[in-house]
Amino acid sequence: MNKAILLDRDGVINQERGDYTYRREDFSVLPDVIPALRVLQEMGYMLIIISNQSGIAKGLFTIADVEKLHSYLVAYLDDNDVRIKEIYYCPHHPEYSSCICRKPDSQLIEKALARFNIDPAKSFFIGDKERDILAGKKAGVQGILIDSNFSLMKAIEPIIKGEKK
């Protein structure tokens, strides 16, 4: 079985602005994301992004807007030798529709685990909201809760130390 690092997007990969981020001009990858993801990748972890994108349900932006931004992100990371296996996102919001894919529910995580034959016990979910950690826990994945816009390199220190044992 494979192992993976599941990552929330806003506040973990890119700058949390306190507003919806769906346009390229508002999107900024955090400073040490590239080196941190490279380390994890070299350690044999698949990299998968799991994100709530409720602005779609609210009519603030479209699926096409999110897909365009994600295409940019994947290409940017790829240009920096970081391979994202997949990006899963929930377009729903509880005030507009119901679903089981919106974090803190775990459907998107479970989908990734099944699709890529990932061992949840050897994997981690890094997020900046309690709902990220709860979603991971429901799927059997250990969570690492960080502050928004926190150093991803510092956040992965427990993973690195754990692997060296």
- Which of the residues are catalytic? 8, 10
Half-sphere exposure of residue 45: CA atoms within 13 angstroms, side-chain side = 26
Cα–Cα distance for residue pair 109/111, rounded to 1 Å: 5
Q: What do you get for the CA distance between the two ends of the chain, in Å?
A: 20
- Alpha-helical (H) ranges within 9-62 are 33-42
Q: Would you call 12 exposed, middle or buried from its count of C-beta atoms within 10 A (0-12, 13-18, 19+)?
A: buried
Tokens found for residue 105 = 């529910």
